[in-house]
Amino acid sequence: MLAELITIGDEILIGQIIDTNSAWMASQLNQIGINVKQITSVSDDAAHILKAFAEAEERADIILITGGLGPTKDDITKKTMALYFGSKEMVLHQPTLKVVEQIFARYKAPMLEVNIQQAYVPDNCEVLLNEQGTAPCMLFRKGKKIFVSLPGVPYEMMNLMTTEVIPLIKDTYNLPSVYHQTILTAGVGESFLAETIKDIEDKLPAHIKLAYLPRLGTVRLRVSSIAFADDHTKAEINKYIEEILAKIPNHVVAKEDIPMEQVILNVMKANNLTLSVAESCTGGAISSMITQHPGCSAVFLGGGVVYSNALKIKLLDVKSDTLTQFGAVSEETVKEMANGALQNFNSDYSVAVSGITGPDGGSVEKPVGTIWIAVANRNETVSKKFSFGNKRAQNIERTVMAALNLLFRLLKKNVTIK
């Protein structure tokens, strides 16, 4: 069973926004045994959209479309779909109109004619009710193939995929069984992992696949079977997982598919531990990464974005002599930052980072990409220097992941991690 994803909107093609919807949708489809054949982005142009629909219909069984359902003139998805599927007229969908009226009443805003028009849909579509927004979700059937047009607003799309689209697909098609097992590793490269577990990978049977899913600072190893996920195959996969774990014990963070920061939150919550941060070069990125997860307040106390030396002194008790003698980007400073966070924010653990993310600000002694990280608890402070590249965004992301990895290593020394 094959699917194709089509995103509609000039804003994606000019780089104004990033298409995160397709990545999320693809992951959801993969979990139910559907392979995504292609992901396509098209402009707000009817001819371009029609061509994309026709080509997708040739390649895939399920075509999911996002975007272009807003109230403005550049949102032409609905009219283009009506043209593609030979609709005779637009009809008012009363349940959608009711949702639109409720949303405008909630915000005490006047509802314009253009907003009412959003409740009109092609007469030959099925409407999957969008209770989170004003754009309708439209389903068209063509033989055994289905087209579903979803709103581009991520939380609306995700809700519709979860409550309507995925159940619809499961009811419509006879899907294969799926079984995945994932290992999260950190602090090691994809090529090193591949070489280390080469002998295991070479003996995998044809119905079991190993995938490497790298990201800056981490690599996920996913062992899976789609067509033959019976109890025997699950036992096979689990056996290979145990063999891989035995090969790379020092690099394993988790035996499930969750992000690094969630692993840390789970470990710290289970052990009644708290965390604070002292961020300089990451500008709050570590805090943002942690606080995106519900329930983080049980662990995360907060911290400080101490970009200037004055704030390092005032909030973290970093000594002015340390800054003068060694500089802000130094082992001495970052250790004092970590211990200052422990004391002043009264946490069990802390993370501190200071560095030169670029593209300027470097020197011969401390080039761009020089980062110092320290993690601490009441008994120990661990620091490490990193030398990254000259790309600012990547340096910030690498620093965040390196800091989380260093924190995980310190936790692992002090608590039992299952």
- CATH number for the domain spanning 291: value is 3.90.950.20
Q: Which helix (H) or strand (E) holds 125?
A: none
Asked which of 222, 254, 286 is the last residue of a domain, the reply is 254
> Do 14 and 131 fall within a single domain?
yes
Residue range of the domain that includes 209: 179-254
Residue 175 or residue 353, greater confidence: 353
Check whether residue 332 and residue 379 sit in a common domain.
yes
Give the ranges where 161-259 is alpha helix by DSSP (H).
166-172, 190-196, 198-202, 231-247
Confidence (pLDDT) at 128: 96
Mean of pLDDT values over 154-160: 95
Same domain? For 37 and 166 the reply is yes
Q: Residue 240: CA atoms inside 13 Å, Cβ hemisphere, count? A: 25
pLDDT at 1: 85
Q: Is the pLDDT of residue 404 over 70?
A: yes
CATH of the domain at 208: 3.30.70.2860
- Evaluate whether 244 touches 221 at the Cβ level (below 8 Å): yes
Same domain, 248 and 343: no
Please state which of the ranges 107-111, 161-165, 409-413 shows the lowest mean pLDDT.
Answer: 107-111
Residues 46 and 68 in one domain: yes
The pLDDT tens digits for 211-257 are 999 988 899 999 998 765 678 888 999 999 999 999 999 999 999 99
Residue 21, pLDDT above cutoff 90: yes
| 80 touches 8 (CB < 8 A) | no
Same domain for 130 and 39: yes
Residue 177 reports pLDDT greater than 90:
no
Q: Is the Cα dihedral 116, 117, 121, 126 positive or negative?
A: negative
Q: Is 225 helix (H, G, I), strand (E, B) or coil?
A: strand
CA neighbours closer than 13 Å in the CB half-sphere of residue 126 = 11
Sequence-distant (≥ 6) Cβ neighbours of residue 233 within 8 angstroms: 179, 207, 208, 225
Among 140, 172, 204, which residue terminates a domain?
172
The pLDDT of residue 285 is: 98
Question: Worst-scoring range by mean pLDDT, 203-207, 306-310, 369-373?
Answer: 203-207
Residues 80 and 187 in one domain: no
**How does pLDDT run across 339-352, given as a tens digit for each residue?**
999 999 999 999 99
User: Are residues 185 and 167 part of one domain?
Assistant: no
**pLDDT at res. 228:** 59
Percent of the chain residues past pLDDT 70, beyond the cut: 99
What amino acid is encoded at 390 in this protein? N
Residue 280 has pLDDT above 70, yes or no: yes
Write down the mean pLDDT value for the chain: 94
Residues 264 and 228 in one domain: no
pLDDT the model gives residue 414: 95
Q: How far apart, in whole angstroms, are the C-alpha atoms of residue 403 and residue 418?
A: 21
Q: What CATH number does residue 148 fall under?
A: 3.40.980.10
Whether pLDDT at 412 is above 80 = yes
**Does the structure show a pLDDT above 70 at 65?**
yes
The pLDDT of 6-21, averaged and rounded, is 92
Q: What gap in Å lies between CA 34 and CA 170, rounded to an integer?
A: 10
Question: What residues does 372 pair with on adjacent strands?
Answer: 354, 385
Q: How far apart are CA 16 and CA 369, in angstroms?
A: 27
In this prediction, residue 205 carries a pLDDT of 93
Average pLDDT over residues 38-42: 96
Average pLDDT over residues 322-341: 98
Residues 190 and 290 reside in one and the same domain: no
Instruction: Give the per-residue pLDDT at 72.
Output: 80
Q: Distance of CA 40 to CAs 2, 11, 293, Å?
A: 14, 14, 30
Closest CA to 361 of 390, 383, 321: 390
Nearest to 160 by CA among 137, 144, 187, 192: 137
Residues 222 and 280 in one domain: no
Q: pLDDT band at 365, cuts 50/70/90?
A: very high
Query: For 68-82, 200-214, 327-341, which range has the lowest pLDDT when averaged over its residues?
Result: 68-82
3-state secondary structure of 301: strand
Q: What is the pLDDT of residue 226?
A: 74
Count of domains forming the chain? 3
SS3 of 371, please?
A: strand
Domain boundary among 207, 238, 254: 254
Say yes or no: 97 and 199 in one domain: no
pLDDT for the residue 179: 87
Amino acid at 343: Q
Q: What is the pTM of this model?
A: 0.79
